[in-house]
A and B are shown apart, each in its own frame.
Chain A
Amino acid sequence: MTGMVEKKGWGLWLTHVGLLAGIIIICYPLYIALIASTVTQADLVTPPMPLLPGGHFLENYRAALFSGMSTPVWKMMANSLVMALGITIGKISISLISAYAIVYFRFPLRSFFFWLIFLTLMLPVEVRIVPTYEVVAGMHLLNSYSGLILPLVASATATFLFRQLFMTIPDELVEAARVDGAGPIRFFFDILLPLSRTNIAALFVILFIYGWNQYLWPLLITTDPVMNTIVMGIKQMLPSGDQTVEWPVIMATAILAMVPPVAVVIGMRNLFVKGLIESEK
């Protein structure tokens, strides 16, 4: 039986039309970018803009991937992948173990450390740009993967999430582990980690997108084009002033920059929604 507030007939039809209109507005920029990445520069310059994909898909994507403008796009994508995975794995590992210490141990500086981690929420990289750059430059980490990854791997959100999760795990499991003679390290690997699997996966999806989409930080510290990530590298391709640029190649690059994170969201939709909603609790 359907509830009596669900619409039927015209009302339902209008609801679907409304949703479709929303989808068209949301997807329009992507559609135009896709078209532009399959035509020639001449097709774009002379109006009207083509409404269907052209036949230059391979040519444009090959030009982007293997020559790009200053750095080939495959190289920038590889840099982005290293950075995104480094940030994701780094954040998850150090947050798992620090949440473990805070929940399962009593030690003098426990609440001090907890507050220290909490306060990082108030210090996003955008507000401490110049001094953080100076610290990283002083450590000779400019143009290195460590420089791209390390300053971004602290995570208050992930630590809270794991703390929350550990609090719901029954104490009997610790007692049972003790009876069996398992120490804290065995308990962590044999019991806690398997129990956290789904949460780790959901967080992985969110953090991978976060890592891949970093812009300001790589912009500051990768002065060598070979170390550019794709999300910031595309800025170097954009025209400054009246200079002419190959728009089909730029749009192909934009599409390539979107593919990995969008594929993750679509391919793991349920984990993504879980991760998104939980990491904001």
Chain B
Amino acid sequence: MEKRVFFRNKWLPYLLVAPQIAVTLVFFFWPAGEAVYQSVFMPDPFGLKTRYVGLANFQFLFTDPYYRNSFATTALFSSLVTTISMSVALWLAVLADRVGKKAGRYTTLLIWPYAVAPAIAGVLWMFLFMPSIGVLARALGHFGYTWNHALNGGQAMFLVVIASAWKQISYNFLFFLAGLQSIPRSLIEAAAIDGASFTRRFWTIVFPLLSPTTFFLLVVNVVYAFFETFGVIHTITGGGPQQSTSILVYKVFSDGFVSQDLGSSAAQSVVLLLLVSGLTIIQFRFIERRVQY
């Protein structure tokens, strides 16, 4: 896409892009370059000098059981968050779409969690599940189930998944609702005349037509679970117990800032960089296809 008409000026366009480019170079490309650079160096035992070690940091990383575990944790965490938040959102969007125009009243009550920070979502859910005073932890206690996410890794994972999924439902809901409302009514009515039940209409007509929205949300939710849930994990579990909720982004932080293992943290940054790049490319290829529809 190009404009036919444009202004002629030698220096003005450079002046206009300068602030954006300056911020981009200083705070994005320079640090990213530093990460790549540091990832091939290792400090000597006294921390006085660093020496070039090639890919040794990466080798260490991928033989480190904690790091490999962190991959598995991230995969489990992000697939649970994505599945739960997308299915609940789709269910609510289908109901809201059935109510029709009057659904507006409900919408506000369903979309506000979008505005809640992940860290605050963490505080809200942690409070419900505090072993000593949490309402839900006590309720579980009544049924003879002991809840303590500070000791039980599975419970900790459950809690961070619920808090993260809860926050993302509103986003998915809005996009699913928009997708449902763009499906031509005539298609669904034609199927209804043929006697197709609601469930059958949903799986044979509505769900396939929603697939561009679903795929788009799938990518967005995976990105969310990978990179934007740091606040949830930091407030509720701090990656524990025994690193059971230490997803990749959390590990970069704790290895870099808490344990000060810079070579490893830099190598982890590079691995994450490749992951984001892959996800971004998937997202953009998909969006280009959507434009052709």
Binding site for B on A (CB under 8 A): 2-7, 12, 15-16, 18-19, 22-23, 26-30, 32-33, 36, 44-45, 47, 49, 93-95, 97-98, 100-107, 109-110, 113, 116-117, 119-124, 126-136, 150-151, 153-155, 159, 166-167, 171, 174-175, 183-185, 187, 209, 212-213, 215-216, 219-220, 231-232, 234-235, 238, 247, 250-251, 254, 257-258, 261-262, 264-266, 269, 272-273, 276-277, 280-281
A residues in contact with B31, CB < 8 Å: 128, 131-132, 134-135
Assess the B19–A97 pair: CB atoms within 8 A.
yes
B residues in contact with A15, CB < 8 Å: 95, 98-99
- Are A213 and B117 also in contact (CB < 8 A) when A117-B20, A128-B31, A132-B31 are? yes
Q: How far is the CA of A171 from the CA of B5 in the complex (A)?
A: 6
Q: Which of B41-49, B50-58, B124-132 contacts A (4 or more CB under 8 A)?
A: B124-132
What distance in Å separates the Cβ of B229 from its nearest Cβ neighbour in chain A?
10
A residues in contact with B230, CB < 8 Å: 126, 215-216
6 closest A-B pairs (Cβ-Cβ)?
A: A213-B117, A131-B31, A131-B34, A101-B16, A261-B115, A105-B13
A residues in contact with B108, CB < 8 Å: 266, 269
Assess the A123–B273 pair: CB atoms within 8 A.
yes
Q: How far is the CA of A15 from the CA of B29 in the complex (A)?
A: 51
Is B113 an interface residue when CB atoms closer than 8 A count as contact? yes
B residues in contact with A135, CB < 8 Å: 26-27, 30-31, 34
What distance in Å separates the Cβ of B198 from its nearest Cβ neighbour in chain A?
8
- Are A29 and B112 also in contact (CB < 8 A) when A95-B20, A151-B27 are? no
Assess the A220–B257 pair: CB atoms within 8 A.
yes
Complex partner residue of A238 from B29, B116, B235, B256, CB under 8 angstroms: B235
| CB nearest neighbor in B for A237 | B123
Binding site for A on B (CB under 8 A): 1, 3-10, 12-14, 16-17, 19-21, 23-32, 34-35, 38, 88, 91-92, 95-96, 98-100, 103, 106-121, 123-128, 132-133, 135, 138, 166, 169-171, 174-175, 178, 185, 188-189, 192-193, 201, 216, 220, 227-228, 230-231, 234-235, 249, 252-253, 256-257, 262, 265-266, 269, 272-273, 276-277, 280, 287
What distance in Å separates the Cβ of B121 from its nearest Cβ neighbour in chain A?
8
B residues in contact with A220, CB < 8 Å: 257
- Are A104 and B21 also in contact (CB < 8 A) when A110-B13, A130-B257 are? no
Assess the A131–B269 pair: CB atoms within 8 A.
yes
Assess the B6–A106 pair: CB atoms within 8 A.
yes
Q: How far is the CA of A270 from the CA of B30 in the complex (A)?
A: 39
Q: How far is the CA of A8 from the CA of B205 in the complex (A)?
A: 22
Assess the B35–A130 pair: CB atoms within 8 A.
yes
Q: Can you identify 21 A-B contacts, CB atoms within 8 angstroms?
A: A16-B99, A26-B169, A27-B109, A94-B19, A101-B14, A104-B6, A106-B6, A107-B14, A122-B276, A123-B273, A128-B34, A131-B269, A135-B34, A153-B23, A159-B20, A167-B1, A184-B7, A213-B115, A215-B118, A215-B119, A281-B287
Complex partner residue of A128 from B28, B95, B106, B123, CB under 8 angstroms: B28
Assess the B276–A124 pair: CB atoms within 8 A.
yes
Assess the B23–A94 pair: CB atoms within 8 A.
yes
Q: Among A15, A29, A129, which residue has the most Cβ atoms of chain B within 10 A?
A: A29
B residues in contact with A101, CB < 8 Å: 12-14, 16-17
What distance in Å separates the Cβ of B124 from its nearest Cβ neighbour in chain A?
4
B residues in contact with A129, CB < 8 Å: 252-253, 256-257, 265, 269
| CB nearest neighbor in B for A6 | B100
Assess the B23–A154 pair: CB atoms within 8 A.
yes
Assess the B124–A234 pair: CB atoms within 8 A.
no
- Are A235 and B234 also in contact (CB < 8 A) when A29-B166, A105-B6, A122-B277 are? yes
Complex partner residue of A103 from B3, B125, B188, CB under 8 angstroms: B3
Q: How far is the CA of A9 from the CA of B214 in the complex (A)?
A: 31
Complex partner residue of B92 from A22, A105, A238, CB under 8 angstroms: A22
What distance in Å separates the Cβ of A127 from its nearest Cβ neighbour in chain B?
4
- Give 18 A-B pairs besides A30-B124, A110-B13, A209-B114 with Cβ atoms closer than 8 angstroms: A22-B91, A29-B121, A29-B128, A32-B127, A32-B135, A45-B132, A94-B23, A97-B19, A101-B17, A123-B28, A130-B262, A131-B34, A135-B26, A213-B231, A216-B231, A250-B123, A251-B127, A273-B174
Q: How far is the CA of A269 from the CA of B269 in the complex (A)?
A: 37
Q: How far is the CA of A95 from the CA of B24 in the complex (A)?
A: 12
Assess the B95–A150 pair: CB atoms within 8 A.
no
Q: How far is the CA of A232 from the CA of B7 in the complex (A)?
A: 46
B residues in contact with A159, CB < 8 Å: 20
Assess the B13–A107 pair: CB atoms within 8 A.
yes
B residues in contact with A130, CB < 8 Å: 35, 252, 256-257, 262, 265-266, 269
Q: How far is the CA of A264 from the CA of B127 in the complex (A)?
A: 25
Assess the A215–B234 pair: CB atoms within 8 A.
yes
B residues in contact with A123, CB < 8 Å: 28-29, 32, 273, 276
What distance in Å separates the Cβ of B16 from its nearest Cβ neighbour in chain A?
4
